[in-house]
Amino acid sequence: MAEIPGLESQRRQVEGDEGEEGRQRRLLAGESWYLLDYRWYQQWKTYVDSGDQNSSFFPGRINNAELFEDLESYRLKDRLVEDEDYILVPSKVWNQLVSWYGMEPEQPPLERKVVDLPSTQKVEVYPVELYLCQHSDMDNLLTAQFSRTDIIDTVLKEARRLFEVPPEEEMRLWVKNSDGSCERLRNVHMTVLDSCLSTGQTVIMESRNKDGTWPSAQPHAMRNSLDEDDTYRGQPGICGLTNLGNTCFMNSALQCLSNVPPLTEYFLNNRYLKELNFSNPLGMKGEIAEAYADIIKQMWSGHHYSVVPRMFKTKVGHFASQFLGYQQHDSQELLSFLLDGLHEDLNRVKKKEYIEQRDAEGRPDEEVAEEAWRNHKRRNDSIIVDIFHGLFKSTLVCPRCRKVSVTFDPFCYLSVPLPDSNKRAMEIFFVSMDPRMKPEQHRLIVPKEGKVLDLCIALSKHTGISPEHMMVADVFSHRFYKIYQMEESLSCILDRDDIFIYEISVGALEDEDGGGSEDIVLPIYLRERTQSRDYSDSYYGVTLFGHPLLVSVPREKISWDSLYQMLLHRLSRYVSQPDSDEEEESEDDDLSDKRTNGFSEGEEDESSHRAKSTCQDQEAGSEVEDNQSEESEHEVMSEPSNGEGVGETKIASCSGASACQQRTDGGSQRSNPPSPTIDSQPKRKCRVRRQRRKPLFTLQTVNSNGTSDRSAYQDDGNSVTFNSQPYIALDWDPEMKKLYYDDMEAERYVRNDSMSYMLKKNPVKLEKCIDLFTTVETLEEENPWYCPTCKKHQRATKKLDLWSLPEVLIIHLKRFSYTKFSREKLDTLVEFPIRDLDFSKYIIKPRTETDPTQYKYDLIAVSNHYGGLRDGHYTTFARNKDTGQWCYFDDSSVSAVSERQIESKAAYVLFYQRQDKICQPMQPPPQPCCHSTVTSADQDTDDVTSCSSISDDMTSCNSHDCKINTCQSSESMDVD
């Protein structure tokens, strides 16, 4: 016991007189105060006030026995009142009193913390008393007390101590609510007060299973494949990911990151637990990092054939709505989101400061680069920055004032362009004026930045028809979606558009208003009248069908009967004419009074003129019929005897050729058919009694959609003059269409030999793509640069250079090209090295003698994309960090592959690791490290081909084309 000072000195130190703070001092949040029995304190105070150190009022040892319920548990009594049962003293006063008077043995000091409440600070006399248990034995409850200022990590450590859990086991805590539900105590750095824990609640401690799962996980997560054996032991990391429905893009990105050694070691060694950032407003409350850690621990446990990433998918969709649902997405976009999310969830910077970026302004590059990287690290410091971030040098030059702006910017991956061909292959259908000729499908090679005229010129070389006598149209849903002008850009035509090129007699290059031309081009639609719902003889609508036509007719003074005969002639290949008397109707009047073409009659006082015209039309019509008979006979003689035609093909749907069911076709001979004679007979008046054939269809002018009737002509008796270019509809009665319109023949077409042509694309080296990335380019008009000298936005020139590279370099090959009018995927073969990718010639940072070793990289993973723009499938090649074995990951299937199989046209995202950071792999284990499994859970939308073909059996292949593409061609991968 220390020497006891004088009684007056004791009083000053305890009560706080004459500059001593004593027990009256101000409370400070987080500091310790102690409970002191009020009766002992009053005894001490009487002793001090007596002024006699030998007084009988000497208090003796500090004794708090009256404050406890019992002297075994030393649990504090309930409802103790300050200044009646106890007083509070700061730790300095408590320590002084204990040193002067001592304390009853075995009694614990009643230390309490000062908590910072919303409106005040207060000593928490009664701490939070929690019940602790383990998830595996929730009936065994132990009681522990915690201050409201204690962090959750303190609770976890106390639970570990009480249940004797080894420190290497990974644990997490749950709190059980009053309604029986459980909630994760995710942030171990949060206080008990902020976590809203209260006395009487139960906290459950959960240990991670050896297979990487948590016991509290759902059953589907605990057993990751239906045929999985609890005793399975495989090579860690050789584990598939189940396809949940178009999630191959996510699986591919996860497999690539899983095989980045430093990142996987970071999670497997639980270093992420201390760096989870729950307060970052740009992060995701640590949930993405934890969900990713769960996936990695399961994949690298060696206990699973495949893992079901359902919880990870849910978390991604929660924080990035674009990935909600089960649509196909881009693996590189998911990878970008995941790297950014992991970075923010693991950012060691808890409070980001504002830093203004400075221009170089003539300073040395080394100084500017060092400043830029230092500023970047002041706001962004995580394992992702350590592994994946490098530094660009960006140089902008104003085209007007020549102002040069130099900045250094961090990057996480390189998106490099692919050399693009200046040619484009386009598929079209050519429709001849000869009605006997079936439409021909051609593949034309045209300039990518060309005009519609270039498309016609290319077709002219195949057909011999002058481009001046062609018109180009986009056909969609049985109508003309658009009719193109010759000077329009080909970029506005998409590959999926159904383009028809029609032969016409009118010069297409003449004035748009048709000046100087005696003919006009009429767009022709086919419509079928739809019967009313009561199935009476009345009609209430029309429905478009078949393929529309573009037909040249005289601009002035054409009769409706002549137009009918001309159109009948154009349709003669698949429209037959009545040859039975049943299809005739009697006429015993002026022929002009019995109109059969569906148009309105002229005035009654013009009957004489109509009669003359009708007589003329009858004779002209007879001549047309004779010609058609001759043509029909000629066609029958020239067709093969089987009635189908040699190699004929059908256009299966008027909505476009993309839906066609194609057959091989040998082609057909062209001939120039005789045209119907129009207004060629002398006019004469006649009044006869004769049999007249019933028309197959009626004519009606309509709008461009073919849905509503309109008038765009001047009716002069039995002739018509068009004021503008109208659209004409051929309205068919259902019975007439059924009898005389051959749907099968109408859909047939011929595949030209050019359809076998392929636009050859030569392989390019990865170095060429990097060269293009560092080439000077001019900024787009939509994304100009604000010049501080000119005080306006300018289309400056921009050049990117590599200043420093990260340990793991991600290279994104920009295979997908998107413009205002077009989208395409480049399937160019990019030749990339497996080892010794040397970046020394691209790094512009001044070097030392030891630097060259830091610029060589080896490949560790590849994300592949098979298929086209609107569908496709993602897979992964990756090198196991422990064995060095390359494997092919196709969702839940995994197969061993050789290095020669890795390079293919499907390569999309490449992962390279710097050579000086690569650890030599250990020898592979004796058990097989790869497998190929497809369970019922794996039979999802983009799991349609077996990966068994990606095996060592393919090592005999020598050409690029026989690599991975041999079992999964891009044309057949319409899977996602």
Q: Which top CATH class is 423-509?
A: alpha beta
Range scoring the smallest mean pLDDT among 87-91, 660-664, 691-695, 916-920: 660-664
Q: What is the CATH number of domain 248-417+765-917?
A: 3.90.70.10
d(CA 623, CA 610): 20
Give residue 474's pLDDT: 95
Q: What percent of the chain has pLDDT over 90?
A: 50
Stated length of the chain? 976
Give domain limits for the chain: 7-117, 128-207, 248-417+765-917, 423-509
Give residue 540's pLDDT: 67
Q: Is the Cβ–Cβ distance between 911 and 282 less than 8 Å?
A: no
Which long-range contacts link 758-764 to residues 24+ away (Cβ below 8 Å)? 758/425, 759/421, 759/423, 759/424, 759/425, 759/445, 761/421, 761/826, 761/827, 761/828, 761/829, 762/828, 763/828, 763/829, 763/830, 763/831, 763/960, 764/418, 764/419, 764/828, 764/829, 764/830, 764/831
Q: Is the Cβ–Cβ distance between 66 and 37 less than 8 Å?
A: yes
Instruction: Check pLDDT > 70 for residue 269.
Output: yes
Query: Is the model more confident about 534 or about 596?
Result: 534
Range scoring the smallest mean pLDDT among 374-383, 427-436, 813-822, 913-922: 813-822
Type of residue found at 12? R
Q: Is the Cβ–Cβ distance between 907 and 967 less than 8 Å?
A: no
Instruction: Check pLDDT > 70 for residue 595.
Output: no
Contacts of 401 (CB under 8 A, 6+ apart): 787, 789, 790
Q: What are phi and psi of 102, to 5 degrees?
A: 80, 180
Catalytic annotation, residues? 248, 873
User: 770 forms bridges with which residues in the sheet?
Assistant: none
- Same fold: 7-117 with 128-207: no
Instruction: Quote the longest CA-to-CA distance of the chain.
Output: 156
Instruction: Check pLDDT > 80 for residue 961.
Output: no
Q: Which residue in the block uniquely carries the two structure tokens 């999964």?
A: 968
The model's confidence at residue 260, banded by pLDDT at 50, 70 and 90, is: very high
User: Is the Cα dihedral 702, 708, 709, 712 positive or negative?
Assistant: negative
For the stretch 121-144, pLDDT in tens is 899 899 899 999 999 898 899 999
Coil, strand or helix: which one is 201? coil
Q: Is the Cβ–Cβ distance between 745 and 636 less than 8 Å?
A: no
For the stretch 38-86, pLDDT in tens is 999 999 999 999 888 888 899 999 999 999 988 888 888 989 999 999 9
Q: Give the DSSP letter of residue 745.
A: H
d(CA 475, CA 498): 6
Instruction: Check pLDDT > 80 for residue 963.
Output: no
For the stretch 424-470, pLDDT in tens is 889 999 999 999 999 999 999 999 889 999 999 999 999 999 999 99
Q: Are strands 470-476 and 479-484 parallel, antiparallel or unpaired?
A: antiparallel
The model's confidence at residue 772, banded by pLDDT at 50, 70 and 90, is: very high
Range scoring the smallest mean pLDDT among 187-196, 486-495, 943-952: 943-952
Q: Is the Cβ–Cβ distance between 859 and 877 less than 8 Å?
A: no
Give residue 676's pLDDT: 44
Q: What is the CATH number of domain 7-117?
A: 3.30.2230.10
* For range 877-903, the mean pLDDT: 95
Give residue 619's pLDDT: 41
Q: Which top CATH class is 128-207?
A: alpha beta
* For range 670-675, the mean pLDDT: 42
* For range 771-794, the mean pLDDT: 90
Give residue 838's pLDDT: 92
The model's confidence at residue 651, banded by pLDDT at 50, 70 and 90, is: low
